[in-house]
Amino acid sequence: MNYKLDVELAPELEEYREKIEVTIKPYIEIILGTNQEPNWWESKFGGLPYLPKGFEYPTTPEGNYLFLLAQINFAEVPHLENFPDKGILQFYVANDELYGLNYENHATQTGFRVLYFPEPDLNIENIVTNYEFLPNISQYGLPISGCCSLQFMPKYAPISYNDFQFTELLGDDIYNLLSEDDRIFDEYTNRLSPAGHKIGGYPDFTQTDMRYFYNANKQEPYILLFQMDTDANDVIDVMWGDAGIGNFFIQESALKNLDFSSVLYNWDCG
């Protein structure tokens, strides 16, 4: 599908309109709902997860419990090509100063975990509802505080400024223009390709795109699976270090096969 920008552009960007439009991808914007506790099956940030009885709760190799960062029930999500149409996808992270991140291997699911339940059991008698075994957690050891429901909105946007393929797809001239002109930079990053919470589309970073190092050997590229941005408001507090962004990436072939065992996890901050 060929997407078009339906906004006026500054004259400096207008000459690049066609190039920018070629990079446009659809994604799902995640909108925070209320802080009313969602039920066990609903999409949520924070809180307690859906978990079938008999399923081992995720821990680190040392036996420390991981904690739910986000739960997405794809039955609630508008269709996005190659993404599931149903099932519950969960993201867990460790309660430590790095939120479970392993800088040496972003795919090692020891300090984080991604779980997928393709056919959620809707019988409450068959799922875990007592989580008294979980310890009290430090408010400084997780990037999220509180729990809220989620809503979803289909959107589309061009490549983000910090994506490692930006200059390859758009060229050095526009990259330099954004780097040197704060007004044009703000227009591009705020109006055309905003960050925020999302499923699919282009990721954002406060530093550099770590996928460059994984894609340098020309293996199948990693695409954005899920992004959670820093977001402090009346509903919930999300803070990745010093106002950073958390990302989870997956190869398209693995996504099509609903294989979440090799997801890359990263977060950075300014």
CATH number at residue 170: 2.30.320.10
pLDDT for the residue numbered 218: 63
Which is it for the CA torsion 89, 94, 98, 104, positive or negative? negative
Ranges under pLDDT 50 in the chain: none
Give the separation between CA 122 and CA 93, rounded to whole angstroms. 25
Q: Which strands, in side-by-side order, build the sheet including 88-94?
A: 112-117, 88-94, 66-73, 44-45, 148-157, 25-32, 198-199, 222-229, 245-251, 264-268
User: Do the domain assignments include residue 2?
Assistant: no
User: Do the domain assignments include residue 259?
Assistant: yes
pLDDT for the residue numbered 216: 65
Say what the pTM is.
Answer: 0.95
Residue type, 198: K
User: Do the domain assignments include residue 4?
Assistant: no
User: Do the domain assignments include residue 1?
Assistant: no
pLDDT for the residue numbered 36: 73
pLDDT for the residue numbered 35: 66
Non-local CB neighbours of 158 within 8 Å, separated by 6+ positions:
5, 20, 21, 23, 24, 25, 192, 193, 202
User: Do the domain assignments include residue 3?
Assistant: no
pLDDT for the residue numbered 110: 96
pLDDT for the residue numbered 213: 82
Non-local CB neighbours of 41 within 8 Å, separated by 6+ positions:
50, 73, 88, 120, 122
Closest to 64 (Cα-Cα) out of 129, 116, 117, 138 = 138
User: Do the domain assignments include residue 178?
Assistant: yes
Q: How many distinct structural domains can be found in the chain?
A: 1
Give the separation between CA 240 and CA 204, rounded to whole angstroms. 13
Q: What is the pLDDT of residues 3-41, one digit of tens each?
A: 899 889 999 999 999 999 999 999 999 999 876 778 999
User: Do the domain assignments include residue 6?
Assistant: no
User: Do the domain assignments include residue 5?
Assistant: no
75 phi and psi, to 5 degrees? -65, -20
Whose tokens are 């809180």? That residue is 47
Range of the domain at 135: 11-268
Give the separation between CA 114 and CA 259, rounded to whole angstroms. 10
The pair of three-digit structure tokens given for residue 225, joined into one six-digit string? 């699976």
